[in-house]
Structure 1
Amino acid sequence: MTDRGFDLDARLAERERAGLRRHLRPAESVAARTRFADDPRGGAPDYGEGRLVFASNSYLGLADDRRVQRAAELAARSVGTGAGASRLVTGDTGLHRALERDLADCKGTERALVFSSGYAANVGTIEALSPDVVFSDELNHASIVDGCRVGAEETVIYDHADPADLRERMAARAADARGDGSETDEDWLVVTDTVFSMDGDVAPLDGICDAAEEFGAWVMVDEAHATGLFGDGGGVVQREGLADRVDVQLGTLSKALASQGGYVAGDEALVEYLLNAARSFVFSTGLAPPAVGAARESLRIARETSRADRLWDTVEDLRAGLEAMGYDVRGETQVLPVMVGDRDDALELGDRLADLGVVAPAIRPPTVPEGTARIRVAPMATHTETEVDRCLDAFETAGREVGLL
């Protein structure tokens, strides 16, 4: 009989040969400094020396903040540890509604809707809108890519952060669709991240909105790496004053807001439609109340304190120090890509940094294009000056050992 099963050992071996196999490394905590263990394969982790973490998306350093922990504990005690069901059944609580009101206020929209993850929000929203054509930035996150695969009739990729190329592709698509000279009645959606997680750059939203409006398309943005950091805790849309030009604002609660989940913010009709039609919302248990409570408190802290200012000061200190050594540091946000180029050099640099007590792993193809391997440095607002100096010292020592400096 023909074996029609899956040879997973062979697939893993191929990943190993290609240098693409990954391994879990449990962390003792999610703080700016913690200890790591090799994968215990179900056993108890054997933690080693503590290391400074410059690779986390907990940009505001709130994941171990006592105020956020208390909010999560209070939510668990007063509401429960889990929602228990889809929010359309019995899993909708006053706590969920309070967070959604806060998000809508922060984002300048009529309403918001919380999903179980940012991934679910992206896939569910695109699938529910079911556009005839999505125009997607070539470096958009995998969750957007998967949403397009599931929900779009056709996906057109435009050059990264290039409104002129977007406009050209929309014009070409319009010309093809009109054929006989009549206007097309297709539904078009333009989708982009605002802060790109591997390059640290920001989408030119004003130009993207101009192009979309010229052709009557909707604009959807993913603020995953921006929520809580710009514009009174909102994101790049708020910093740029574009809330009235962006139809769908989406983001996560799991990065700067130190919790779990995703959200969509927009007008009343959008949210009411999504809670009826987005399968990843309808058929998922509601977000756990402790996560809701933690996200709400983190959003409050982001909006009412100077925590983000502390982050930007740390970002500038790191950038200046790395560039002074001779490193090529890209981006313009809290994500600092230290460009290396060669994959093996980047992997060796990441390993040497780890040996020196700094967690800042290499990012290599296929996550990034060939020849652009890098170290992705992501500081937290809670890193001290001493810890930043230690990180810089490690980069200088490791860079000389690898031959990059």
Structure 2
Amino acid sequence: MEDRGFDLEERVDALEESTLKRSLSPVDRVAERGYFAPPPGSELPVLSADEALVFAANNYLGLTDDQRVQDAARQAAATVGTGAGASRLVTGDTMVHQDLERLLAETKGTERALSFSSGYAANVGTITALEPDVIFSDEYNHASIVDGCRLTAAETVVYDHCDATSLRSKLAARAESAAASDESWLIVTDSVFSMDGTVAPLTEICEAAEEFGAWLMVDEAHATGLYANGGGVVQAEGLEDRVQIQMGTLSKALASQGGYVAGSDELIECLVNDARSFVFSTGLAPPAAAAASEALHIARHSDVRERLWQNVAHLRDGLESMGFDVLGDSQILPVLVGDRDDAVALADGLRIRDVVAPAIRPPTVPEGTNRIRVAPLATHDQDDIVTCLEAFKDAGEDVGLL
């Protein structure tokens, strides 16, 4: 009989030949430092004897091992349960979910919020539920936005990265088409872009959206918890009344798991009923919801955000003073290397010096823009920052970049 299956061995070999094969590397804890194991395959992981500093995580506020966050998760597990047990629309809705969503809505300045099982599910579910006719999408938007666009019947128009002028020209060109008067338009952008560290010009994008009557959806995955009052870039720029849909995650600065959408009461009612990734998924686990609530409270009412931005400034200044080209204007510090082999060699040199900051290569980033994505945490102390800078200096000299 003819084999109509899949040649997976050939696929893996092709990845290895192109140096694009990635592997899991288990760590003993999620924090600013930890013990890592080499890729174990099907075997049990064996942890390294040397502790490494982590400068690659999205745990920006360092709250994953905060005692208050852990206690909140334990309490929710003990009193509510370890899992929601069903879709929120069946029996999986709890007071813990309601409390989280109330706090998110308050932080984001909206009428309501809705939590999803992941940020990916939030983006895909929201875009498909809205069923826009045309979507205008930043060229560097996250894969979950791209996939949400693909799953709709909408025509997707891509505009230049963080370029409101490019967006306006795309909107103007579309407005000249015969069908434009009957179309629904949605503009979607990340606020902070995860691989470039760039921040979208949201005020200018709002102006373009309002000029042409489009709705705006902003993905605050890498901004939630880090800006004004624990909000994102939308809050920092005072745009709550001009952005119809605010999306974000609970799995980065909020040290938990899941995603959310914040907006009007009508928006949330539509998502509760029409977002398939919400309707047909088990509700967010109560411990995850409680952990995110506590982390958001800490982000709003402590100095943890200030400590993060101090570390960001120290690390950026140090890297730039050495001669490294550091991209972006956020807490994400991509060190541009260019050549793929040099980027891999630099990452390996850092790892030898017990600093974890992997090389980012195509297809994640465009050809010729290989980089080291550096992300300090609020819980790194000044000695940790100095150690990271010294590792970059020594490894950069070894590779011939300095």
SS at match of 2:113: strand
Q: Does 1:227 align with 2:228?
A: no
Aligned-residue offset at 1:231: 1.1
SS at match of 1:251: strand
SS at match of 2:298: helix
CA distance in 1, matches of 2:290, 2:219: 22
Paired residue for 1:276? 273
Check the 8 A contact 1:61/1:381 in 2, yes or no. Answer: yes
Aligned-residue offset at 1:40: 2.4
Aligned-residue offset at 1:177: 3.3
Paired residue for 2:88? 87
Paired residue for 1:27? 27
TM-score, normalisation: structure 1: 0.98
Paired residue for 1:111? 112
Paired residue for 1:394? 391
The CA RMSD measured in Å over matched residues stands at 0.8
CA distance in 2, matches of 1:177, 1:222: 31
CA distance in 1, matches of 2:92, 2:305: 33
CA distance in 2, matches of 1:258, 1:150: 29
Paired residue for 1:64? 65
What are the superposed Cα offsets for residues 212-259 of structure 1, whole Å, 9 maximum, x if unpaired? 111111000000000000011110000000000000000000000000
Identity %: 66
Paired residue for 1:359? 356
CA distance in 2, matches of 1:365, 1:201: 18
Aligned-residue offset at 1:401: 0.2
Aligned-residue offset at 1:151: 1.9
Paired residue for 2:379? 382
Aligned-residue offset at 1:155: 0.3
SS at match of 2:217: strand
CA distance in 2, matches of 1:167, 1:152: 23
The count of aligned residue pairs is 401
The counterpart of 1:252, out of the listed 235, 246, 249, is 249
Give the 4+ runs in structure 1 shifted more than 4 A. Answer: none
Report the AA paired with residue 66 of structure 2: D
CA distance in 1, matches of 2:246, 2:31: 29
Check the 8 A contact 1:126/1:152 in 2, yes or no. Answer: no
CA distance in 1, matches of 2:288, 2:361: 32
Q: Does 1:8 align with 2:5?
A: no
Aligned-residue offset at 1:176: 1.9
Check the 8 A contact 1:28/1:35 in 2, yes or no. Answer: yes
TM-score, normalisation: structure 2: 0.99
SS at match of 2:266: helix
What are the superposed Cα offsets for residues 354-386 of structure 1, whole Å, 9 maximum, x if unpaired? 001000000011111111100000000000111
CA distance in 2, matches of 1:266, 1:291: 22
SS at match of 1:242: coil
Q: Does 1:127 align with 2:128?
A: yes
SS at match of 1:189: strand
Paired residue for 1:317? 314
Check the 8 A contact 1:134/1:152 in 2, yes or no. Answer: no
CA distance in 2, matches of 1:370, 1:377: 19
What are the superposed Cα offsets for residues 255-280 of structure 1, whole Å, 9 maximum, x if unpaired? 00000000000000000000000000
What are the superposed Cα offsets for residues 48-98 of structure 1, whole Å, 9 maximum, x if unpaired? 111000000000000011110000000000100000000000000011000
Q: Does 1:207 align with 2:208?
A: no
Paired residue for 1:150? 151
The counterpart of 1:292, out of the listed 284, 289, 295, is 289
Report the AA paired with residue 36 of structure 1: F
Paired residue for 1:44? 44
SS at match of 2:85: coil
CA distance in 2, matches of 1:172, 1:378: 39
SS at match of 1:37: coil
What are the superposed Cα offsets for residues 135-159 of structure 1, whole Å, 9 maximum, x if unpaired? 0000000000000000242100000
Check the 8 A contact 1:200/1:337 in 2, yes or no. Answer: yes
CA distance in 2, matches of 1:6, 1:51: 39
Higher mean alpha-carbon deviation, 37-46 vs 11-20, is at: 37-46
The counterpart of 1:218, out of the listed 207, 215, 218, is 215
5+ long unaligned stretches in structure 2: none
Aligned-residue offset at 1:202: 0.4
SS at match of 1:232: helix
